[in-house]
Amino acid sequence: MPKPLEDIKVVDLTNMLMGPYTTQILGDMGADVIKVEAPGGDPVRYIGAARNLGMGAIYLNCNRSKRSLVLDLKTEEGHAAILRLIAKSDILVYNRRPQVMERLGLSYETVRQINPSLIYAGLYGYGQNGPYAKKPAFDDLIQGAVSIPALAQMADGGVPRYAPSAIVDRGVALWAVGQINAALYYRSRTGTGQKLDLPMFEMMVSFILADHMEGETFLPPIGTPGYKRMLNPDRRPYPTKDGYICAMIYTDRHWRDFYKALGKEAVLEQDPRFTSITTRTEHIAEIYAELAALLQTRTTDEWMALFDLADVPAMPMNSPESLLGDVHLAQTGFFIEREHPSEGKIRDMAVPAFWSESQPAPTCHAPLLGEHSFDVLTEVGYDIEALEKMKASGVVE
């Protein structure tokens, strides 16, 4: 089955998580992604569990569907080689600060001269028209800057905490994939490439404040920031007799069918807090607290049976370990056992989308460092003798 981005070539000048996750998705969609690594490789190669040095678990989970080219871009020969590759490519993705790209001689103004149809996508910390423009950025820093730890503290009164996931890196990556594909569509209509600046800070501000701007949406303000339901300390997995359950009793129908299943329909008629979603939101702290006490009276399986009968959204709380054995994921074939040429058997994850005509899927394993250097450079005109000289001088590995 053909994939949606076949015949698209991507120069991947990214490392760590955000950029590599972006380009892995493009690779799963069929693009030929060339991961350009400095000598020594992407630092994420050395993070997390590993069987072999430079092939850590986090690297394996965001770098499949790519080829690896090791190139020293700070040398004259390396710079010339990357320009040859860019000249024959459709997309360039980077996650260095723009100032670094300029120092490397790879600014948009430079590369557009050799490839005016190129889509040049930069994923970095902050928009370039503000005082933060030159600041470095990481997931934790942006989480703090957009108030994620503060919101966690507002919700439970504890210490501020980052989300235990690279939510910024992966969220911005998903956003970037959409932007890049839209730019491809624009180019297909006009023939024109362009520069995409995709700052983490601004994107995540829009992500967070879409929920929490609240009364500050209006001018003058009609209330304070913060969505009460999300900030309620009882908005959390509910303890049951033997575990935890996640229940979302939200709409009028949900509440009606829930109490009907309990044999307590009269509660909704007698308690004015349940009149509408507005009144429930006003009294959400009391409602959540009462629900929490109620759910402790039965087992998780007993509550799941009731919620399923009432067609009320609910799921048992998984741990990372139990998620690996989830029956739904097993039935849908989400986890796939693959043989990696250096790492042996690994557990991979399928593309979480289902296309009727051009299903995305991994195209190859996460590459060894420099596994495809000679192949890629041969494709842009280098002969073996030139490549051996470049290897001997450390320009290429």
Query: In this structure, are residues 310 and 260 in contact, taking their beta carbons and an 8 Å threshold?
Result: yes
pLDDT of residue 213: 96
- What are the distances in angstroms from CA 291 to CA 138, 236, 277, 308, 374? 38, 11, 16, 17, 63
pLDDT of residue 111: 97
Burial status of residue 348 (CB atoms within 10 A of its CB: 0-12, 13-18, 19 or more): middle
pLDDT of residue 269: 82
Beta-carbon contacts of 305 under 8 Å, excluding residues fewer than 6 positions away, are none
Query: In this structure, are residues 201 and 127 in contact, taking their beta carbons and an 8 Å threshold?
Result: yes
Nearest to 63 by CA among 164, 175, 173: 173
How far apart are the C-alpha atoms of 335 and 345, rounded to whole Å? Answer: 13
Tokens (6 digits) for 120: 């040049």
pLDDT of residue 275: 86
Burial status of residue 382 (CB atoms within 10 A of its CB: 0-12, 13-18, 19 or more): middle
- What are the distances in angstroms from CA 108 to CA 91, 105, 193, 247, 284? 12, 9, 11, 49, 51
pLDDT of residue 229: 85
Query: In this structure, are residues 302 and 315 in contact, taking their beta carbons and an 8 Å threshold?
Result: no
For residues 215, 221, 225, 227, the Cα torsion angle rounded to the nearest 10 degrees is: -10
How far apart are the C-alpha atoms of 301 and 205, rounded to whole Å? Answer: 39
pLDDT of residue 124: 97
pLDDT of residue 232: 86
pLDDT in tens, 207-242: 999 999 999 999 999 999 999 889 988 889 999 999
| Ranges of H-type helices in 93-232 | 98-103, 108-114, 139-145, 148-156, 167-190, 200-212, 228-231
pLDDT of residue 234: 82
How far apart are the C-alpha atoms of 24 and 31, rounded to whole Å? Answer: 9
Phi, psi dihedrals of residue 194, rounded to the nearest 5°: -165, 170
What is the chain's Cα-based Rg?
Answer: 25
How far apart are the C-alpha atoms of 291 and 277, rounded to whole Å? Answer: 16
Which segments of the chain have a pLDDT < 50? none
pLDDT of residue 40: 94
